[in-house]
Amino acid sequence: MLSDEQLLRYSRQIMLQDVDIEGQTHWLQSTVLILGVGGLGSPAALYLAAAGVGTLILVDDDQVELTNLQRQIAHTTDRIGLMKVASAADAIQQINPDTKVIQRTERLDEAALTTLVGEVDVVLDCTDNFTTRFAVNRACVVHQKPLVSGAAIRMEGQIAVFQPGLEGSPCYQCLYKEGEDEHLTCSESGVLSPLVGIIGSMQALEALKILADIGTTLTGRLLLLDAKHMDWRSLRLKPDPKCPVCSKK
């Protein structure tokens, strides 16, 4: 049962027919893994906490730097030098003290990542590290966990949802092959501040929809944003029958 304070805090969501008490309860009982609390992970974590997700596991081994503050809204000037997960946990506490935050200030190896993925309900890939992206995809396929993948660079963003085990859903490696475009990073190419906010917020939205089984998710689609001209494109994705990760041998 939701407490009186929770009923008030989440009242604007509960009044939505698609959410109601049942959906809100699902969120309160859910655990979400967020890999990276930078440009994408910051808005994703803050919105998931605000919406009432019960437990967030934040993974990031970096410290807050001055150059982060242009876009990574979970962090502030007075937290420069703190670990990003600690900074984000402070911000979450200010928004919703009922959300439990588990901090992992390390770069997980594949074995640890696979174990952690098995303990959560949804995974958000908010990294800009292709090695991690492929590793978390493999872990999600092993444990049949939904993966919400986002990326943003320069003035271009993209988001997709991969649900292993769901008929017709590809995995991340059906779309991208290891070794492709691994040199692209924000530190080398730049990124416009609100762009990461748009994509990160959409990752939070897709995670909430998955957790409460609301509407239609981006499973099987890649949504592309050209922010310079504010042009959206939606591409249909199909499983790769030769995918080394998710194809049935």
Burial 129-164 (b: 16+ CB within 10 A, else e): ebebbbbbbbbbbebebbbbbbbbbeebbbbbbbbb
Q: What is the pLDDT of residue 232?
A: 97
Q: What is the pLDDT of residue 181?
A: 54
Q: How far apart are CA 178 and CA 34, in angstroms?
A: 22
Q: What is the pLDDT of residue 222?
A: 97
Could you tell me the pLDDT band of residue 225, with boundaries at 50, 70 and 90?
very high
Burial 201-228 (b: 16+ CB within 10 A, else e): bbbbbbbbbbbbeeeebbbbebbebebe
Q: What is the pLDDT of residue 179?
A: 65
For the chain, give the mean pLDDT.
94
Q: What mean pLDDT comes out for the span 143-149? A: 97
**Of 85-89, 149-153, 175-179, 221-225, which gets the smallest average pLDDT?**
175-179
| Predicted confidence (pLDDT) at residue 183 exceeds the cutoff of 80 | no
Its pTM surpasses 0.85: yes
Q: What is the pLDDT of residue 247?
A: 87
Q: Is 148 helix (H, G, I), strand (E, B) or coil?
A: strand
How do 31-35 and 55-59 pair as beta strands? parallel
Percent over 90 (pLDDT), the chain: 88
Q: What mean pLDDT comes out for the span 169-196? A: 79
**Of 100-114, 165-179, 189-203, which gets the smallest average pLDDT?**
165-179
Question: Other CB atoms closer than 10 Å to residue 76's CB: what's the count?
Answer: 14
| Predicted confidence (pLDDT) at residue 189 exceeds the cutoff of 80 | no
| Predicted confidence (pLDDT) at residue 182 exceeds the cutoff of 90 | no
Where exactly are the structural domains of the chain? 4-236
**Of 100-109, 184-193, 208-217, which gets the smallest average pLDDT?**
184-193
Contact 233, 162 (CB under 8 A): no
Q: Which tens digit of pLDDT belongs to each residue from 59-107?
A: 999 999 999 999 999 999 999 999 999 999 999 999 999 999 999 999 8
Q: What is the pLDDT of residue 185?
A: 61
Could you tell me the pLDDT band of residue 162, with boundaries at 50, 70 and 90?
very high
Q: What is the pLDDT of residue 14?
A: 97
Q: In CATH, which superfamily holds the domain spanning 4-236? A: NAD(P)-binding Rossmann-like Domain (3.40.50.720)
Q: What is the pLDDT of residue 100?
A: 98
| Predicted confidence (pLDDT) at residue 248 exceeds the cutoff of 80 | no
Q: What mean pLDDT comes out for the span 126-139? A: 93
Q: What is the pLDDT of residue 237?
A: 93
List, in order, residues 6 or more apart from 91 with CB less than 8 Å away. Answer: 42, 45, 46, 74, 75, 76
Q: What is the pLDDT of residue 202?
A: 98
Give me the phi and psi of 56, to 5 degrees please. Answer: -115, 130
